[in-house]
């Protein structure tokens, strides 16, 4: 019996070590696996509209509608969050105009047309800043063109792009991405793929979610 004891000890140690290795491997796999929805679903318009670096530790993705009142109220909060967190945060905007908002589609087309000339964020900000102006205008398209005219764009190209298939495809791709994420309404915000469920979305909710995401990053 004593003759087999060393082999029994070695076998027991081997089994323990193997079991520990499996546990560690599973734990590592669980940690490395994507936890949010950012990595799933359709990719949306490519390239996306991003404030900040794609290499930022935390990624915020918003689905918005330029006519939507809650979206316009969220606009300054997201700008403030980007300013506060700087290089640690990227902000991506996705088009999600609602059918019931009769001017939202035209505004989305204006933003995307400006984006084809590298002025998406300028038009994005202008649309929210002057929201009451173009919403209240008798001729929405003319009001949007007037808004764009202040951004040093090639206006003839801008007008053509507003009606282009490329702009239509970008809006459709963003909308499809929202659908695959189970989006129910704008504004909807995802931070590292996890949806911010507070309604309305407050600055406190944004900070809490961003801080939590930053806390999960390796030091």
Residue 130, burial from CB neighbour count under 10 angstroms (0-12, 13-18, 19+) = middle
Tell me: do 14 and 53 sit in the same domain. Answer: no
Q: Give the mean model confidence (pLDDT) for residues 179-200.
A: 92
Across the chain, what does the average pLDDT equal?
86
**Which two three-digit tokens encode residue 188?**
């909807």
Q: Are residues 55 and 28 in the same domain?
A: no
Task: Indicate whether 43 belongs to any domain.
Answer: no
Domain that holds residue 28: 2-32
Mean pLDDT of 142-156: 97
Same domain, 6 and 85: no
Give per-residue pLDDT as tens, 31-65.
333 334 455 778 999 999 999 998 999 999 999 99
In tens, the pLDDT along 63-81 reads 999 999 999 999 999 999 9
Which pLDDT belongs to residue 22? Answer: 36
| Same domain flag for 185 and 116 | yes
Both tokens assigned to 31: 């940690």
Q: Transcribe the chain into DSSP letters.
A: -GGGHHHHHHHHHHHHHHHHHHHHHHHHHHHHS--SSTTSS---SSS-EEES-TT-SEEEEEEE-TT-HHHHHHHHHHHHHHHHHGGGEEEEEEE---TTSTTHHHHHHHHHHHHTTT-HHHHHHHHHHTHHHHHH-SSHHHHHHHHHGGG---HHHHHHHHT-HHHHHHHHHHHHHHHHTT--SSSEEEETTEE---SSPPHHHHHHHHHHHHHTS--
pLDDT bin (cut points 50, 70, 90) of residue 21 is very low
Q: Is residue 183 a part of any domain in this protein?
A: yes
Q: pLDDT tens digits, residue range 86-126?
A: 999 999 999 999 999 999 999 999 999 999 999 999 999 99
Look at residue 42 and tell me if it is in a domain: no
Confidence of residue 184 (pLDDT cuts 50, 70, 90): confident
Q: Tell whether 100 and 167 lie within a shared domain.
A: yes
Q: How many CA atoms lie within 13 A of 98 on its CB side?
A: 16
Q: Dihedrals φ, ψ of 213, to 5°?
A: -65, -40
- pLDDT greater than 50 at residue 26: no
Together in a domain, 74 and 13: no
Output the pLDDT for position 174.
97
């Amino acid at each position: 019996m004593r003759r087999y004891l060393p082999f029994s000890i070695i076998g027991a140690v081997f089994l323990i070590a193997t079991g520990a290795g499996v546990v560690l491997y599973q734990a590592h796999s669980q940690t490395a696996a994507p936890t949010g929805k950012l990595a799933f679903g359709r990719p949306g318009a490519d390239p996306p509209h991003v404030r900040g670096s794609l290499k930022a530790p935390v990624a915020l993705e918003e689905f918005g509608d330029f006519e939507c009142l809650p979206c316009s109220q969220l606009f300054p909060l997201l700008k403030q969050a980007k300013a506060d967190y700087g290089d640690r945060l990227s902000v991506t905007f996705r088009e999600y105009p609602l059918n019931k908002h009769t001017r939202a589609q035209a505004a989305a087309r204006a933003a995307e047309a400006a984006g084809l000339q590298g002025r998406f964020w300028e038009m994005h900000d202008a649309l929210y800043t002057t929201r009451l102006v173009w919403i209240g205008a008798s001729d929405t398209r003319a009001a949007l063109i007037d808004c764009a005219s202040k951004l040093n764009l090639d206006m003839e190209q801008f007008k053509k792009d507003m009606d282009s298939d490329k702009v239509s495809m970008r809006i459709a791709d963003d909308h499809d991405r929202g659908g695959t994420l189970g989006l129910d309404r704008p504004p909807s915000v995802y931070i590292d793929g996890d949806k911010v469920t507070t309604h309305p979305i407050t600055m406190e909710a944004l900070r809490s979610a961003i801080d939590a995401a930053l806390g999960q990053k390796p030091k």
